[in-house]
Each structure stands twice: as structure tokens, then as C-alpha cells.
């Protein structure tokens, strides 16, 4: 899925028009044209623009920056190399959380919208406790 396709899917999920998103992004009167260009792949938003878009759409920035694996083999190789560089514990924990949420979705405990919302806002990296 391209960045433009992700933008469109999330915008529609949030119930926004291209014009509304363009306005919230500060693009002015023709903001819908810019959003349409992003969604169609005519233009690619720069990193700073994607960070702002993530904020406006209430999603994790990684939604736009992460690489999408093309095949199952590609996915597995990505996981293997992550394990080699970072160890497996965190990866296993993240996959377990995903499996748990997917099971809730498949059994009807949560809706399709709740499942997508979870995926769009999910952070695998635990936040560091800074309290004294």
C-alpha cells in the first residue's frame, strides 16, 4: 500500500473530505487538490508534512514511514533481521499483542473500526517511565 493509499484510507476512516484534510493541514483554498495529488501519487509528501499529517489524522507517524513488505518471505526476512539486530523479546511481545487484538476482532469482541483504530495508534516501543 502506497503512502497515498494510506492517506486516503485513513482520511476516509476519519470521515474527512480531501478539502477538510487540506484545510486542517493549512493548505488553503486549494488544499483538496494537494491532498488529491498525495493520494493519487502525483506528489509525495516530505517527512515534515507526513509528521503533521499524522498529528492531524491522529495516527502514529510510523503509519506513513514504515516499509510495507511485498511478500510473506519479505516480511519474514524483515522479522529475522530485526531479531538479529535487536533481539527477539520485543518482537514477540508486539506480535502477541497483535494476535490478541486480531482474535478480539475475529470473535466480534471489537468492531472493524476499533481494530483499525488500534492499528493506527499502536506503539510497540514501551514508553520509558520518567517519574521520580
**59 and 94 in one domain?**
no
Q: Which residue has the higher pLDDT, 129 or 59?
A: 59
| Rounded CA separation 64/30 (Å) | 23
pLDDT exceeds 80 at position 86: no
Q: What is the pLDDT of residue 41?
A: 94
Rounded Cα–Cα distance for residues 132 and 26 (Å): 39
In which domain, by residue range, is 78 found?
Answer: 72-121
C-alpha angle with apex 81: 75 to 82, nearest 5 degrees? 90
Residue 131 is assigned to a structural domain of this protein: no
pLDDT tier for residue 126 given thresholds of 50, 70 and 90:
low
Question: For position 12, which CATH number holds?
Answer: 1.10.260.40
CB 105 within 8 A of CB 112: yes
The C-alpha cell 492531524 sits at: 56
Does residue 17 fall inside a structural domain?
yes
Question: Residue 116: inside a domain, yes or no?
Answer: yes
Give yes or no for residue 25 having a pLDDT over 70: yes
Q: 26-37, pLDDT tens digit by residue?
A: 999 999 999 999
Q: Are residues 12 and 42 in the same domain?
A: yes
The model's pTM: 0.76
Distance (Å, rounded) from C-alpha 104 to C-alpha 9?
22
Amino acid at each position: 500500500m502506497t503512502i497515498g493509499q494510506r492517506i486516503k484510507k485513513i482520511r476516509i476512516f476519519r470521515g474527512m473530505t480531501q478539502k477538510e484534510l487540506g484545510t486542517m493541514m493549512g493548505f488553503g483554498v486549494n488544499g483538496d487538490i494537494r491532498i488529491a495529488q498525495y493520494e493519487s501519487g502525483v506528489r509525495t509528501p516530505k517527512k515534515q508534512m507526513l509528521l503533521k499529517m499524522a498529528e492531524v489524522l491522529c495516527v502514529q507517524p510510523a503509519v506513513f514511514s514504515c516499509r510495507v513488505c511485498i511478500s510473506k518471505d519479505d516480511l519474514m526476512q524483515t522479522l529475522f533481521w530485526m531479531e538479529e539486530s535487536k533481539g527477539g523479546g520485543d518482537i514477540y511481545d508486539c506480535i502477541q499483542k497483535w494476535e490478541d487484538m486480531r482474535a478480539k476482532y475475529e470473535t466480534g469482541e471489537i468492531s472493524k473500526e476499533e481494530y483499525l483504530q488500534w492499528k493506527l495508534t499502536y506503539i510497540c516501543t514501551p514508553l520509558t517511565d520518567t517519574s521520580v
